[in-house]
Structure 1
Amino acid sequence: MSQPPISPRRPLTLRDVSEASGVSEMTVSRVLRNRGDVSDTTREKVLEASKRLGYVPNKIAGALASQRVNLVAVIIPSLSNLVFPEVLGGISAGLEETGLQPVVGVTNYSPEKEEAVLYEMLSWRPSGVIVAGLEHTDAARAMMENAGVPIVEIMDVDGQGVDSVIGISHRRAGLHMAEAIIAAGYRKIGFLGTKMPDDHRARKRFEGFKEGLSLAGLELADTEFYHGGSALLKGREMTEAILKRNPDIDFLYYSNDMIGAGGLLWCLENGIDIPGRLGLAGFNGVELLDGLPRRLATMDACRRQIGLRAADIISGKAQDGQIGGALIELEPVLELGDTVRKI
């Protein structure tokens, strides 16, 4: 005998919590919205009943009146890149106890995907937007300019922001890395990185790096680029390829730590003297480097601090009280590790 179809349970209402706690619906509403003068005893009764029943307030109903939901749109290029989880951790920590919750969208470094994600997120009327980078389509920029909420562009300060901007100068980061490499006595330098038509921050570091070499009368000896696949494996493959093609290179600068870690492991396995015969450096300062046989030279890009500061602006907790129009440039920390000769 077949069972009759199970009817979907009706959603719980304020009346259910009111009946379970023995107080009025208006009082339940005041408690759950943390508004109004309610005694501690009454508040505890309402919260206990709400928790026991599994009641979740309907935030959309409140949003219809305020035209805002307590969500913060966070738009990033990638979740597989180790850089962005630390940024998200900073944002999440910064929004704690503010009543705001981050909602994440991923663009895969596509301007068109960013535009589509932004459109969908703004249609829910979030309380603010945090977006990685300064380069957007005209339509995406127009949407942000007219959103009527705080907009924080993060990770980069080399360009014109829509509202508030928090990050580092990637051009200066690349230039300072070139200066450190040259000061350590290296002269025949190669660059290895991702193909970067849409990774604007990597492109700016590359431009700054070449500028630093040019100021010292040097040019890149060789380059090697990749697209997709495991960054660690690609780092090994690229390092082998560039050194076979150009064995006289005495330094390799990688656009990120993951391919740099792969390159370091390949060099050590092949008996190359690091940093005497060959120096290496990456970028980002990810925790992965702590587990390598030698500490790869890198730059800490202030990722968690960027996330925290962005959250403070969105929530109104910024130290200067500024909600919009902030420009905060952080300084990345150069860590020479074990793969650059000591001066």
Structure 2
Amino acid sequence: MTVSRVLRNRGDVSQATRERVLEASKKLGYVPNKIAGALASQRVNLVAVIIPSMSNMVFPEVMTGISEVLENSPLQPVVGITHYRPEQEERVLYEMLSWRPSGVIIAGLEHSEASRAMLENAGIPIVEIMDTDGEPIDSMVGISHRRAGIEMAKEIAKAGYKRIAFLGTKMPLDHRARKRFEGLTDALAKEGIEIADHEFYSGGSGLLKGRELTEMVLKRSPDVDFLYYSNDMIAAGGLLYCLDNGIDVPGQVGLAGFNGIELLDGLNPRLATMDACRREIGNKAAEIIAKCTEDGADHSGQRIELSPRLDVGDTLKR
């Protein structure tokens, strides 16, 4: 019974006894049968983390935030990838929930009818992350992407730019990019400015993709004076294209991205961007799940909206 309590991290066991049991377990190479334990408890100490991509540099940082919290608990994150496809999200969610996890952390507020039904009937804590522009199933942690688009539009207009183009991921699959685009266009319209051009793409984000998109837009609309990108990686590619082709940044053309990726901190000139609070989102989402598991109390319905920070860098006129 003492060994069982130690291995399940339950009950009142002295630290000395706990260490002896764990040392013996390690020497024997013993691994508890979680499936057998789940039959009794109806739950395993896994947290299903469902995200669109791991190649996008945003989500590894979210995962870091989740892991920082869960490593101090009995819970372990298990990751499922949806590739921004609703039907893939359904399959991943079905498989994950069949293991009876202790909670689900899932990116976005938009889900198919089948996915929403599974989440609503799971009977475990659900935390939707990255976005607060909508109604959550249970709890949500993120930023308002519409507000992020609005704030960027205000800075663009204040700097005196008039011919703005948007370059981003294919919509409506990327709902958060869509909301930033909507916030941008609405705020610019209030300043009497309309989007002059746009270019959408599918597939991974990278420097080459940014260069290609920027070339297409500037050749098609040479009078464009500002390029707003849906993420920093394609924005960095656009910046390199401009520098290679003698385009004055930010005098002739201004640029801004989104996400505040640390990898690009060494760029010169420094890219204008907005930090999406990725690590903090992961922290707070994991804290909700861990707290529910730790004390068994109902911590559902939490709505945590973080405030992204705008960095005008060197590519947006002051």
Q: Same fold (TM over 0.5)?
A: yes
2:53 to 74, 78, 91: 78
> After the TM superposition, which segments of 4 or more aligned residues of structure 1 sit over 4 Å from their partners?
none
- Does the Cα contact within 8 Å between 1:164 and 1:326 map onto a contact in 2? yes
Q: Which amino acid aligns with 2:241?
A: W
Letter in 2 for 1:55: Y
Whether the 8 Å contact between 1:132 and 1:155 is mirrored in structure 2 is yes
Q: Tell me how far 1:317 sits from its aligned partner.
A: 7.3
Report the residue type matching 1:114 in the other structure: E
**Greater C-alpha Rg:** 1
Cα distance change of structure 1 residues 212 and 79 upon mapping to structure 2, 3 Å threshold: same
Q: Distance in 1 between matches of 2:279 and 2:223?
A: 38
Seen in structure 2, the aligned counterparts of structure 1 residues 229 and 330 have a Cα distance that, compared at 3 Å, is: closer
Other-structure match for 1:214: 189
TM-score (norm 1): 0.88
Return the alpha-carbon distance in structure 1 between the equivalents of residues 205 and 153 of structure 2: 26
User: Shift of residue 43 of structure 1?
Assistant: 3.1
Q: CA deviation at 1:282?
A: 0.4
| Cα pair 2:56 2:205 within 8 Å, conserved | no
Residue from 98, 111, 122 that aligns with 2:86: 111
Q: Size of the alignment, in residue pairs?
A: 315
What's the CA shift for 1:45?
2.7
* Alpha carbons 2:159, 2:316 under 8 Å: kept: yes
* 2-structure distance, mates of 1:158, 1:32: 42
SS in 2 for 1:338: coil
* Counterpart residue number, 1:8: none
Letter in 2 for 1:256: N
- Letter of the 1:288 partner, please give it: L
Structure 1: stretches of 5+ with no match in the other structure = 1-25
Q: Does 1:191 align with 2:163?
A: no
Instruction: Describe the superposition over 1:188-241 as per-residue Cα deviations: whole angstroms up to 9, x where unpaired.
Output: 111111112211111111111100110101101111222225521111011111
- Give a deviation string over 1:287-317, Cα, whole Å, max 9, x none: 1221322210011011111110000111117
Q: Percent identity?
A: 72
Structure 2 gap ranges (5+): none
One-letter amino acid of the structure 2 residue matched with residue 290 of structure 1 = D
Aligned to 1:241: 216
Which aligned pairs between 1:114-193 and structure 2 lie closer than 5 A? 114-193=89-168
- Structure 2 residue matching 1:291: 3-state secondary structure: coil
Contact 1:316 1:322 in 2 (8 A): no
Structure 1 residue 322 displacement after superposition: 6.2
The AA in structure 1 aligned to 2:137 is V
Q: TM-score, normalised by structure 2?
A: 0.95
Instruction: Call closer, same or farther: CA 1:40–1:240 in 2, change over 3 Å.
Output: closer
Alignment partner, residue 13 of structure 1: none
Aligned to 1:47: 22
CA contact 1:76–1:105 (8 Å) conserved in 2: yes
State the shift of 1:249 in Å: 1.2
Greater shift in the superposed pair: 42-51 or 255-264: 42-51
Distance 1:220 1:155 in 2: 26
Give the SS at the match of 1:239.
helix
Offset, 1:31: 2.4
Aligned counterparts of 1:101 and 1:47: Cα–Cα separation in 2: 18
Q: Is the 8 A contact 1:313 1:322 kept in 2?
A: no
Give 1:331's aligned amino acid: S
**Does the Cα contact within 8 Å between 2:131 and 2:144 map onto a contact in 1?**
yes
Change (3 A) 1:33 1:229: closer
Whether the aligned pair in 2 keeps the contact of 1:243 and 1:249 (CA below 8 Å) is yes
Over aligned residues, Cα RMSD in angstroms?
Answer: 1.6
Alpha carbons 2:5, 2:11 under 8 Å: kept: yes
Q: How does 1:1-343 map to 2 (within 5 A)?
A: 26-229=1-204, 231-316=206-291, 323-342=299-318
SS in 1 for 2:137: coil
- Aligned counterparts of 1:60 and 1:286: Cα–Cα separation in 2: 39
Cα distance, 1:281 vs. partner? 0.2
- 8 Å contact kept, 2:66–2:285: yes
DSSP-derived class of the 1:192 partner: strand
Is the 1:275–1:339 contact (alpha carbons within 8 Å) kept by the matching residues of 2? Answer: yes
Amino acid at match of 2:152: M
SS at match of 2:40: helix
Q: Distance in 2 between matches of 1:112 and 1:34?
A: 37
Aligned AA (2:200)? F
